[in-house]
Structure 1
Amino acid sequence: MSSDLAYPGQVSRWTGSWLSGPRAALEPGEDADAQQWRGQRLGLPESGPGSVAATGRRAFALLLDCVIGGLIAGLIVHANLNDSSAMLAQNTWGIGIVLAVRTVTIGFFGFSPGMAVLGIRVARLDGAALVGPVRALAHSVLTALIIPAVIWDLDNRGLHDRLLGTVVVTTR
C-alpha cells in the first residue's frame, strides 16, 4: 500500500505552519522562549496602557460592535422572524453598518465603539497617529472574515494585524 505520508512526522511538516499555534509564526532564527510577555518583541509594555490587548476584550468589542450594528439595522429594516428575506435584509444591513462604522471610527480615531467601551484601540507599528481609512477598511473586512482574526502569533496579533502592520493595545 503506497501513501504520500511515509511516517507521521511528515504530517507535521505540511500542517505545522497553521496547526502548531503561535510559535509557528516566528521568523526563522527567532526564539519564542526569549519573549517574556506578549508584545515584548514589538517594544510594548507588559501591562497597562499600551500593552497588547487580551483576546477576550477584542472578541467582546467585536460583539458589541455587531450588536450596535444590528440595532441600527433594526431601525432601517423591519425585522420579521417569519420572513426570511426580511431577516436577510436586516442582517445584510447590519453587516454593512458594522463595516462602515468600524472603518470610519478605527480609521480616524483608532477604535470602534465596542473598543472604546472596553478600553482598547488599533495602533500602527510604524508610529503613525492615524490607522487611516484604507487600513481600517482592510482591518474591518479581514476581521469580518473571522479566520485572519483568530489565527494569531506570540504577540497576540491576528494575521490581519500582521498584514497591516497594526496591533490592538489597551488604553487604560
Structure 2
Amino acid sequence: MSDRQPRWTQTWIGGPRAAGMDLGYPGERLGLPEQGPGAVAGWGRRVGAVVVDWLLCTWAIAGGLLRVQGNDIGAVGLGVFAAEYVLLVGTIGMTLGMRLFGIRVAALDGGRPPFSSVLVRTLLLCLAVPALIWDRDRRGLHDRASRTVVVNL
C-alpha cells in the first residue's frame, strides 16, 4: 500500500480549491466588488464593531446610565444592544461600532435593508449561534435569513 492518499481523499481533505473548484472572492456571487467600498467586510472589522457595540451597550449604557448591577447587567445589556441595532441599522444602516470600523449593513440590492429584515437580523444576532455559522460570502445565517450583507463603506 502506498503512503500517498487516494486522489478523492486529497481533494476532500484539501477543500474545494484542491479539487480544482474556483470559488472566487467573497461577494462575487452577489455581484459585489472584490475590494474597496461595497465589498464584503472582513471578519476583523465585523468582530471589532460587535465588540465596541457590546461594550457600549453593557458598560456605558446599562452599567453607567441605567445603573444596572450584578447578574442583571447581561440581560439589560442585551436588550440595549438589540434596541441599538434595530434603531440604528433600521434608520442609518449601521451601528456606532460599525461606523467606527467603516462597515454597514446593506440589502442585497445595495440599499438600506427593510425594517422587517433588520428585526429578523437583530433577533438572530442576539442568539449568537446564527452569526457564527457563515458561508463563503462571509454571510452568517442572520444575514442570509434577513437577505443582507455587511459591506465596507
For residue 57 of structure 2, what is the amino acid of its counterpart? Answer: G
Q: How many angstroms apart in 1 are the aligned matches of 2:61 and 2:149?
A: 28
- Distance change (3 Å), C-alpha of 1:32 and 1:142: farther
- 43-52 or 143-152: bigger deviation: 143-152
For residue 78 of structure 1, report the CA deviation from its aligned partner: 4.2
**8 Å Cα contact 1:104/1:133 also seen in 2:** no
Aligned-pair RMSD on alpha carbons?
A: 2.1
In structure 2, C-alpha distance between the alignment counterparts of 1:119 and 1:47, rounded to whole Å: 13
**1:50 and 1:170 in contact (8 A); partners too:** yes
Partner letter of residue 45 of structure 1?
P
Cα displacement (A) at 1:136: 1.2
Confirm whether residue 77 of structure 1 aligns to residue 59 of structure 2: no
In structure 2, list runs of 5 or more residues that go unmatched: 1-12
Give 1:164 deviation, angstroms. Answer: 1.2
CA distance in 2 between partners of 1:59 and 1:109 (Å):
20
CA positional deviation for 1:89: 2.1
Indicate how the Cα distance of structure 1 residues 39 and 32 shifts in structure 2: closer, same or farther if over 3 A, else same.
farther
Distance 1:109 1:120 in 2: 12
For the Cα contact (< 8 Å) 2:121–2:145, is it kept in 1? no
Residue 33 (structure 2) aligns with: 45
The residue aligned with 2:71 is: 88
From 105, 109, 115, the counterpart of 1:122? 105
Q: 1:78 to 1:159 in 2, by over 3 A?
A: closer
Give the TM-score, by structure 2 length.
Answer: 0.81
Structure-1-length-normalised TM-score: 0.72
1:147 aligns with 2:137: no
Counterpart amino acid of residue 145 in structure 1:
L
Displacement of 1:160 after TM fit?
A: 1.2
- Residue 62 of structure 1 and its aligned partner are, at CA, apart by 0.6
Identity, in percent, stands at: 40
The residue matched to 1:96 in structure 2 has which SS? helix
Q: What is the rounded CA distance, in whole Å, between the counterparts of 1:148 and 1:89 in structure 2?
A: 24
Aligned partners of 1:124 and 1:167 also within 8 Å: yes
Contact 2:120 2:145 (C-alpha < 8 Å) held by counterparts: no
Counterpart AA for 2:21: D
Q: Report the count of equivalent residues.
A: 136
Structure 1 residue aligned with 2:7: none
- In 1, Cα distance between the equivalents of 2:34 and 2:147? 20
Q: Is the 8 Å Cα contact of residues 108 and 131 (structure 1) preserved in structure 2? A: no
